[in-house]
Structure 1
Amino acid sequence: MKLGLIPKLLIGLGAGILIGFFGPEWMIRLTETGNVLLGNLIKFFIPLIIFAFVAASITEFSSKAGRLLSFTIGISYIDTILACMFGAAVAYLVVPGFALEASQAVEAATIGAPFVELDIPPIMGIISALVLAIVVGMASSWGEAKILSGAVIEFRNMIERVIKSFIVPAIPFFIACIFAGLTAKGELFGTMSVFGKMLVLILLLQAVWLITEYTIAGIVSKQNPFTMFKAMLPAYFTAMGTMSSAVTMTVSLKQARTVPYINKKIADFVMPLCANVHLSGAAMTLTISAITVSLLTQGGLPPVGLIISFIIILGVIEVGAVGVPGGSALAAIGILQSTLGFNEAAIGLMLALFMIQDSFGTATNIAGDGAIAMIVNRFFGKEDEELEQETAPENEVALNIEDARL
């Protein structure tokens, strides 16, 4: 039977702990070598991931409807930013209390030297990748730039294949190397204690944010939010199993179309779009994790100004990455390094925590799409004539999805 990502992550974590406790010196050095090599490879791909996702998303979105598209993306971005701010505020209050026992700094590669050290520098910086993605994405949507727009989308598809075929399968090995080092240095138990408490905090805040989203959506739309929430439950549990917003999109679209007060044209437009631009659950998790890991690895909470900058940039670079299992964390690695100064050990801790809860973060993203649809429906649901023109491409996508499922 083929194992899913979470069992593989747990196996990697367990193997790393065993190696750290019982492994000979040469094996610890081998895990340090894996830490260095895999860490450098992941860092090499980060600017490419940011460029591919952001440029392709701008290319695809800019060719679609104007007001409806702008409103939906704007609401999704605001919701994501507010979720991050909420998570950060709670983390600043709560995390120092349960992280005191493990607040010592965690240094990478302090036990034994790696057998091989190979530096693989990225081809560009994180901000350079983001700016280039915006420029190329905008340029590919101007005039008749069909070759450029096709190349941008194909490059995004290629990077997605790299993530699915190489980076995500390598993450359990990377985590095994990280935890072997933590165990050998005697820092395992404090770290794991914090991880357990942090996971509970993340799941609790995700539930609170879902309640907040639907409460606000009900007030704005003047409709019963429980009806939409109940309809989205199958999509929520599907997302937990697939850990992919893109894969779950067919289920969320089908469920949204069953809600009586939601215009089907709105559902056809909003659900596929939000599967790529709405990530309140994943982004909140990354924010809380970043604050906690910063305390663990750097001995203190990051300045509030840095976290605000991190959140604002995070909402941009995550566009499109939510469709790939683990894509949210991978796309965020660049700003974790450039903004918060994370090293390989800190990145490994981030990946371990995020991947273990990724199914819940994805489910929160997907379930929250229903609340976004309620708000959009309130302002655009009766504009039938305009929607005919604005959602035509999305309607075709929706019909193709339904035909494929039949």
Structure 2
Amino acid sequence: MNKNSKLGLTSKILIGMGAGILLGLILRNLFPESLFVKDYITEGILHVVGTIFISSLKMLVVPLVFVSLVCGTSSLSDPSKLGRLGGKTIAFYMFTTAIALTVAITLAIIIHPGNASLASSAMEFSAKDAPSLSEVVINIVPTNPIEAMSQGNMLQIIIFAVIFGFAISHIGERGARVSALFNDLNEVIMRVVTLIMQLAPYGVFALMAKLSLTLGLETLGSVVQYFFLVIFVLLVQALVVYPTLLKTFTGLNPFMFLRKMRDVQLFAFSTASSNATLPVTIETCEHRLGADNKVASFTLPLGATINMDGTAIMQGVATVFIAQVFGIELSLMDYVTVVVTATLASIGTAGVPGVGLIMLAMVLNQVGLPVEGIALIIGVDRLLDMIRTAVNVTGDSVATVVIAKSEGEFSEETFNDSQAGKVGSSFEDQVKNA
């Protein structure tokens, strides 16, 4: 068979996704009450395979972020450059989050998805306490870096890695030897990422099959307007706002960017976790989009931690939706409070599934809305969580390309080469190209 006729990774993932959804729907309709399907297929085989796949991705997050960030910062001997890079990254993330919230709230007010008849005194939702802004700031600096790594506390890992890498760059020849070791470790970890990506179609198949077997669709009918409004705003952010910013700040082709982002978006959609997708995002930004490791190793882990545009969109629409359901009028100052609170809350939002609901509870409290209203949307939040995670990683990657280009740490030749860094269609291809 012609090598070029082999299916690429994106095609395999799409096939796995479609086959998983189909299998789930077939089993759901043919055996709706089957304990065998529930115990041995849904919670058995599918749960085990899907969980192993996500765990294999999460396994790499801490070593990848730490090693990659040390590599990047150790090559930045100029403190002003590191400060400039951090300032640009945070400013860009806050800017896109504010845009996302403004668009979401505006459209929710115009379309008015909330229906007062949905309100019920029986609604209950118990949310975990969200951290205060002061706690978030204090907890940025780790008291124990090893503990931070064991718990996957991304902000603390980032701070320690930046300090560690910066120290390496200032101890001369000994630092050069340590830096070379970390560069070698980084190559090893990226190779492991490539190997795990070969298992993606099977992991995605199991995740989607389980989702279609367990997702409660009965809630969808009562909140269908909210559901599709959130999806619409998410698509506007991903397909209009991000490409416009990319074209404006870099002059690059947005269609090439979106084409190369497909694998990352599919991973994000399947796992609903920015952190689990991080190894794939870094690999794509460096080897497919042309961003240098100095920039990508800093902007992407930080983005997975503080850049939650998709989550902000959900919070904006949900806040207006819940206010409309309970017949509560929000003032202009309330909407400003929502924008500011949700933007700052994204700093403390971990990149894991479902955490957006915890942050939403904090936003609702800030404007005096009943937290119980979250019960209305929790039934469809899992599916929305998958879509907004794909938006989040797209925003992280746009920021990385924009900042890399502005810092002169970007390869336009790599970006414009459609085959650059493309994962081979088989494990043998990877070994051959190693």
TM-score, structure 1 normalization: 0.59
Which residue in the other structure is 1:292 paired with?
Answer: 321
Which residue in the other structure is 2:116 paired with?
Answer: 103
Distance 1:155 1:342, change over 3 A: farther
2:301 is the counterpart of 1:272: yes
Which residue in the other structure is 1:79 paired with?
Answer: 96
Which residue in the other structure is 1:328 paired with?
Answer: 356
Q: What's the CA shift string for 1:250-305, capped at 9, x where partnerless?
A: 11111112335533432333222212221111211121012112211x21442232
Which residue in the other structure is 2:333 paired with?
Answer: 305
SS in 1 for 2:244: helix
Which residue in the other structure is 2:110 paired with?
Answer: 93
SS in 2 for 1:249: helix
Which among 68, 71, 92 is matched to residue 85 of structure 2? 68
SS in 1 for 2:117: coil
Q: What's the CA shift string for 1:207-242, capped at 9, x where partnerless?
A: 111122112211211222222221111010111110
Which among 258, 265, 270 is matched to residue 229 of structure 1? 258
CA distance in 1, matches of 2:280, 2:384: 21
Distance 1:339 1:366, change over 3 A: same
Distance 1:254 1:126, change over 3 A: closer
2:278 is the counterpart of 1:249: yes
Where structure 1 has 5 or more consecutive residues not aligned to the other structure, the ranges are 1-5, 11-59, 115-119, 159-174, 180-187, 385-401
2:363 is the counterpart of 1:363: no
CA distance in 1, matches of 2:380, 2:313: 13
- 1:2-401 equivalences under 5 Å are 65-95=82-112, 98-99=113-114, 102-104=115-117, 106-109=119-122, 129-137=132-140, 140=141, 146-147=143-144, 192-193=220-221, 195-210=223-238, 211-259=240-288, 261-296=290-325, 298-344=326-372, 346-382=373-409
Q: What's the CA shift string for 1:44-70, capped at 9, x where partnerless?
A: xxxxxxxxxxxxxxxx99xx7422122
SS in 2 for 1:273: helix
CA distance in 1, matches of 2:258, 2:410: 24
Distance 1:269 1:135, change over 3 A: closer
In the alignment, residue 285 of structure 1 is paired with which amino acid?
Answer: M
SS in 2 for 1:381: coil
1:75 deviates by 0.5
* Aligned partners of 1:235 and 1:248 also within 8 Å: yes
In the alignment, residue 278 of structure 1 is paired with which amino acid?
Answer: N
* Aligned partners of 1:103 and 1:300 also within 8 Å: no
Count, aligned residues: 284
CA distance in 1, matches of 2:304, 2:127: 32
* Aligned partners of 1:92 and 1:301 also within 8 Å: no
In the alignment, residue 305 of structure 1 is paired with which amino acid?
Answer: M
CA distance in 2, matches of 1:276, 1:109: 35
1:91 deviates by 0.7
149-158 vs 222-231, which moves further: 149-158
CA distance in 1, matches of 2:289, 2:148: 38
In the alignment, residue 296 of structure 2 is paired with which amino acid?
Answer: A
SS in 2 for 1:323: coil
Distance 1:383 1:150, change over 3 A: same
In the alignment, residue 136 of structure 2 is paired with which amino acid?
Answer: A
Measured on the aligned residues, the alpha-carbon RMSD in Å equals: 4.2
CA distance in 2, matches of 1:360, 1:103: 27
SS in 2 for 1:262: coil
CA distance in 1, matches of 2:290, 2:371: 49
SS in 2 for 1:108: coil
1:328 deviates by 1.9
CA distance in 2, matches of 1:121, 1:252: 30
SS in 2 for 1:66: helix
* Aligned partners of 2:265 and 2:391 also within 8 Å: yes
* Aligned partners of 2:300 and 2:400 also within 8 Å: yes
Q: What's the CA shift string for 1:78-115, capped at 9, x where partnerless?
A: 101111111101111111xx54xx323724349xxx9x
* Aligned partners of 1:88 and 1:288 also within 8 Å: yes
1:312 deviates by 1.1
1:370 deviates by 2.0
In the alignment, residue 303 of structure 1 is paired with which amino acid?
Answer: S
1:369 deviates by 1.9
1:309 deviates by 0.9
In the alignment, residue 94 of structure 2 is paired with which amino acid?
Answer: Y
Where structure 2 has 5 or more consecutive residues not aligned to the other structure, the ranges are 1-20, 26-68, 74-81, 155-214, 412-429
SS in 1 for 2:121: coil
CA distance in 2, matches of 1:334, 1:156: 23
1:365 deviates by 0.7
1:310 deviates by 1.9
